[in-house]
Structure 1
Amino acid sequence: MDTGFRIAVIGAGASGIMALIRLAEAGYEDVVCFEKADDLGGTWRDNRYPGVACDVPSHAYRYSFAPNPDWTHVWATGEELLAYFREVAERRDVVRRIRFGHEALSARFEDGRWRLETSQGPQGAFDVVVTATGVLHHPVVPEIEGLQDFRGRAFHTARWPEDETLEGKRVAVIGSGSTATQLVGAATGRTARLSLFQRTAQWILPLPNKEIPPERREEFRADPEALAAEYDKLNRRQVELFAAAIVNENPGAYAKLVEACEAHVATVADPELRARLTPDYQVGCKRLVMSSEFYEAIQRPNAELVVDPIRRILPGGIETEDGVVREFDVIVLATGFDTHRFFRPMRVEGPGGATLDEAWAEANRSYLTVATPGFPNWFMIGGPSSPIGNFSWLMTAETQFDYILALIGRVARGEARALAPRAEAMDRFEAAARERVQDTVWASGCRSWYIDRNGHVASWPWTFERFADVLRAPDWRDFEDVLAPVE
């Protein structure tokens, strides 16, 4: 491959590592990855709170090209996942391509190439940029009066202090999603008191995290075909049953999800507590939470569920709207992430000076989740409307990158200088997605991180099979070379 052809990858999380490996396999040599942190791993590097784990089965949450027979549990912990990504990156020799401590600040399309600047200064020109920044890296910190005046420790779960154990402390957890649920399940037994401040109840599927027996792991090591069969089985279950149920393509599977969630919350003994823990929206409208420990933990004598809104934070604790003041040593913000910022606050300026912020002023928009009109050779893993349901993100990322490789190849071979989707092609896709999403459970009336600031559901509204089929190969009629001479 011509070494004069330069590719920039932004982000060294799970998607970025995969992109580096696949680009190397395809023969692209001049590839640089810019990572804002001092280590790789993305979500699994940043989140190290007690109880952090994946909500996708271990043997389904791995690269298709890097099977791992040694997962110790059905649902891998964050620590185990981070170790996996580090090992794969080192074994495939892509760490040398990563420039750590380089936060991407701006990209400007000039003379047919992207000129990048990071926190370490200008980085030169690149023919193609691939963003692999994910959606779970901008923590949401709520604006609560007095938060800065709290005398104890207050931090977001994605900024967990290395020396914080919560042992014997009075702990407030603000939030009630997956992170809060995992944290409460893992930490209640070690705290003096734990109060969970819940704004919205969550539907929770029981998730018994059993150990994978050593003999089963040995079987996988000895028989790669058995390991591959396990991967295929779990992915098929996730895609054909769970993912299809949420987009109204498998009513039978959806009915079973509802039954399982309702039966699980019914295990809460106190009827008043059970009522406060029971959501008033449809199962799956928000991302389903997985836990077998939460309901047991929140019923312990030292645990408390608080549903009164927070009025303010005092130097020694939290005051709720009913006037009750509770004293705490630690406040943990399990308040999630801004999933619609993507690679912002990076400034992206296309030909003629138009910015991506301007193009996305009303909503984040894409063509088939991977590209945007007016921004040539700018390709996204996990772009707007990507599938972000309860199944493997790595499957989504690999599917998108196969498609992106085809786009890169067209530019690298000189068949196009500046490749971008046509505006009408994106409009067609966006209109179809908006219409289809009305038939999904996401549009049934709840607030969730699937919904953007303008009330639009920003997730793939069809089955994953359709996603894989549509992204199997580009339809070149939907693309244009924006620098091609006008005939």
Structure 2
Amino acid sequence: MVIAALSGMCFARGRAAVPQSGLRTIIIGAGMAGLLAGIKLKERGETDFVIYEKGSSVGGTWRENTYPGIACDTPAHSYSYSFALNPEWSAFYAPGPEIQAYFERAAQRYGLLDAIRFETEIAECIWREGQWHVRTTDGRSDRAHVLVAATGVLHHPHVPKIPGLETFERPWFHSARWDHSVPLDGKRIGVIGNGSTGVQIISALARRAETLVHFQRSPQWIMPCPDSMYTEADKQVFREDSAKIEAVRNGPEAAARKARFTSAIIDMDSPELAEIQAIVERNLEESVSDPVLREKLRPNYRAACKRMIFSAHYYNAVQEPTVLLENQAIDRVEPTGVRMKDGTFHKLDVLALATGFKVDQFVRPIRMIGEDDLDLDDVWANGPRAYYAVTVPSFPNLCLLNGPTGPVGNFSLVDIAEKQWDYFDQLIDAVRAGRAAGVAPTMAALEAYEAARNKDAMRTVFASGCKSWYLNAHGIPQVWPWSYAHFVDVMAAPREADYRLLQPIVA
């Protein structure tokens, strides 16, 4: 393969046609990030794009997850597009249905609905002669110069292999597949899992169930948070002055909160983490009166080692007389309940699995084939990798929004996606101008990024001694290990030396 210099970058010689009538873009997913990509393309005046969505509506994770008590643990005004602020949020932490409605309005407001192909799942994407050739699971085909994978992380439910689960004779389901036809009031309910989802479900159902058993594999540190509702007067202030919303998003208090949390994450020995540790320990001590229950709820690892849980209600809920915290190991599920290793049996009417997602999937199970018939499954054989979580060597013009090793546990995902899109948008300028058929990072750039990231990831709190979905098979956190300021800096403009351009050859 011949390499030559061009405008400070380099390009690889290969057969590809120069776009004559603008670029066509295929976007996979109509969740937060996919809608963002469509909006940004329209903002540029580019209308030749399509969004393929496997579901029947927009919203992604907020469409999929409708369990009782669902809410976002990022402040609502921060979990909004910077160009579509929402003065109507009902609370500091918005409930799930409001967030879903927000994205539905965004799709309508920016005229995206006609560009979305609902209930259409992608089977494969193959790079060939300067374009991505896409095939759907129902046999349709399409092609485009640019491919945006806005597939998200939390959309493949993880169902644990619990012996006997399939023998349970009563309703059971994953939290992301909640069956709202099943009655809950006055029922004996079991909830397996105590991440954010499990905590929210327990908080919502504690006073509705006859009995509610919370099966806890390992305790969680709970960060107290305001249960603040916005009054009509508050909303009117936001309507009249968007600067008030910006103050909530980026004002001194928000900046200090972000800086404290970021410093705590990237340095396990930081005073900021010690401060957070003191807060969560005090929250446990002051909120739970029963010393036996308190010790059941006390983790043996540092705060923020697992994804931080924010809740104003869980400790109160778990102390309700209807709630039993079960921290022994499950032996098996039987037709009418759950049997513990110590022989204890919990008879149940409903069993909910708040057991998380397969977080290493990203674009998979879509078959992705790049240059020289390179299969993404082979590239990711030892775990998903992407250069600055956005691009992959040998997969030209492919953008992963909120891709592997991004700051998924650090900052607002909306803010992350916006900055990642601006970064990728600059890369594609060479293709828009006809100077290249494609752009992709070099393998050397990815390897250097991964070496630095892996080294610094082991200094983060995620590597401080707990098991979590952030860790790969080698125990290395697969997350962004640096500051928010560094993220902003590297997303501001791609480093030209780290990319190669595919030379356009007119057919």
Contact residue 184 and residue 298 of structure 1 kept, 8 A: yes
Return the match for 1:53 from 60, 66, 71.
Answer: 71
Q: What is the correspondence of 1:113-124 to structure 2 with a 5 Å cutoff? A: 113-124=131-142
Percent identity over paired residues: 40
Match of residue 281, structure 2, among 247, 262, 276: 262
Structure 1 window deviating more from structure 2 (445-454 vs 471-480): it is 445-454
Structure 1 stretch displaced more, 380-389 or 115-124: 115-124
**1:135 aligns with one of 137, 144, 153:** 153
The structural deviation recorded for 1:249 is 8.8
Could you tell me whether the CA contact under 8 Å between 1:52 and 1:182 is conserved in 2?
Answer: yes
Aligned residue for 2:9?
none
The question of whether the paired residues in 2 share the 8 Å contact of 1:288 and 1:390 is answered with no
Is residue 471 from structure 1 mapped to residue 463 from structure 2 by the alignment? no
Q: Distance in 2 between matches of 1:407 and 1:437?
A: 27
Q: Aligned partners of 1:275, 1:154: CA distance in 2, in Å?
A: 30
1:320-354 Cα shifts (integer Å, max 9, x gaps): 10111111000000001111110111110112211
Deviations 1:74-101 (A, max 9, x none): 1000001001111111011112111011
What's 1:199 paired with? Answer: 217
Map 1:1-40 → 2, pairs under 5 A: 3-40=21-58
Q: Work out the CA distance in 2 between the residues paired with 1:394 and 1:93.
A: 20
Cα separation, 2, equivalents of 1:210 and 1:469 = 33
User: Deviations along 1:427-447, whole A, 9 cap, x unmatched?
Assistant: 111100011112111111111
Alignment map for 1:420-435 (pairs within 5 Å): 420-435=440-455
For the Cα contact (< 8 Å) 1:239–1:465, is it kept in 2? no
Q: Secondary structure at the match of 2:459?
A: coil
Specify which of 321, 345, 350 is matched with residue 370 of structure 2: 350
Tell me which residue corresponds to 1:437: 457
> Residue 161 of structure 1: CA displacement?
1.2
Shift of 1:164: 3.2
Residue 226 of structure 1 deviates from its aligned partner by: 2.1
What's the counterpart of residue 392 of structure 1?
A: 412
Confirm or deny that 1:81 pairs with 2:90.
no
Q: Is contact 1:36–1:100 with CA below 8 Å preserved after alignment?
A: yes
Cα distance between partner residues in 1 of 2:327 and 2:394 = 47
Q: Secondary structure at the match of 1:22?
A: helix
Shift of 1:4: 4.7
| Aligned residue number for residue 288 of structure 1 | 308
Given the alignment of the two structures, is residue 365 of structure 1 paired with residue 395 of structure 2, yes or no?
Answer: no
Residue aligned with 2:147, SS: strand
Q: Cα deviations across residues 107-131 of structure 1 (Å, max 9, x unaligned)?
A: 1111111110112323221101011
Alignment of 1:98-177 (within 5 A): 98-177=116-195
Question: For residues 5 and 19 of structure 1, what CA distance do their matches in structure 2 show?
Answer: 14
For residue 401 of structure 2, what is the aligned residue in structure 1? Answer: 381
User: Whose RCO is larger (CA < 8 A, sep 6+)?
Assistant: 2
- Provide closer, same or farther for how the CA distance between residues 19 and 378 of structure 1 changes in structure 2, counting only shifts above 3 A: same
- Say if 1:400 and 1:471, in contact at 8 Å, map to a contact too: yes
Tell me if the contact between 1:59 and 1:230 (Cα under 8 Å) persists in the aligned partners.
yes
2: distance between equivalents of 1:269 and 1:311?
Answer: 30
Counterparts of 2:319 and 2:268, CA distance in 1: 36
Tell me which amino acid in the other structure corresponds to 2:65: N
Cα deviation for residue 235 of structure 1 reads 4.8
Q: Which has the larger displacement, 459-468 or 408-417? A: 408-417
Partners of 1:144 and 1:417 lie apart in 2 by 50
Q: Does the CA-based 8 Å contact 1:8-1:33 persist in structure 2?
A: yes
Matches within 5 A, 1:208-227: 208-227=226-245
Q: 1:250 to 1:399 in 2, by over 3 A?
A: farther
Q: How far did 1:478 drift?
A: 0.8
Of 157, 163, 186, 2:204 maps to 186
Q: Which residue, 314, 318, 333 being the options, matches 1:298?
A: 318
Query: In 2, Cα distance between the equivalents of 1:4 and 1:228?
Result: 36
Whether the aligned pair in 1 keeps the contact of 2:265 and 2:461 (CA below 8 Å) is yes
For residues 381 and 421 of structure 1, the distance between their equivalents in structure 2, rounded to whole angstroms, comes to 15
> How far off is 1:3 after superposition?
4.6
The size of the alignment, in residue pairs, is: 485
**Residue pair 2:50, 2:117 contacting (<8 A) in 1 also:** yes
Could you list the per-position Cα deviations for residues 198-228 of structure 1 after superposition, in whole angstroms to 9, with x for gaps in the alignment? 1010010112321112111101111122222
Q: Deviations over 1:133-178 (max 9, x none)?
A: 1101011000111111111001000001132341111000001110
Q: Given the superposition, is the C-alpha separation of residues 2 and 216 from structure 1 closer, same or farther in structure 2, using an over 3 Å criterion?
A: farther
After TM superposition, list the pairs within 5 Å mapping 1:475-486 onto structure 2: 475-482=495-502
Output the amino acid matched with 1:198: Q
Q: Distance in 2 between matches of 1:2 and 1:17?
A: 26
Name the residue aligned to 1:462. 482
What is the CA–CA distance in structure 1 between the aligned matches of 2:434 and 2:474, rounded to whole Å? 40
1:94, 1:304 → 2: CA distance? 47
The separation in 1 between residues aligned to 2:244 and 2:211, in whole angstroms, is: 46
**Matched residues in 2 for 1:104 and 1:268: separation?**
48
**Aligned equivalents of 1:164, 1:221: Cα separation in 2:** 39
- 2:140 match: secondary structure: strand
Provide the TM-score with structure 1 as the length reference.
0.97
Contact 2:171 2:182 in 1 (8 A): no
Is the 1:176–1:202 contact (alpha carbons within 8 Å) kept by the matching residues of 2?
yes
Cα distance, 1:475 vs structure 2: 1.3
Q: Distance in 2 between matches of 1:135 and 1:391?
A: 15
Q: Secondary structure at the match of 1:471?
A: helix
Match of residue 339 from structure 1: 359
The 3-state SS of whatever aligns with 2:383 is: coil
> AA paired with 1:118?
T
Which stretch has the larger CA shift, 203-212 or 459-468? 203-212
Structure 1 regions of 5+ residues with no counterpart? Answer: none
Pair 1:239-2:268 in alignment? no
How far apart, in 1, do the equivalents of 2:97 and 2:410 lie? 20
Q: Describe the SS at the equivalent of 1:242.
A: helix
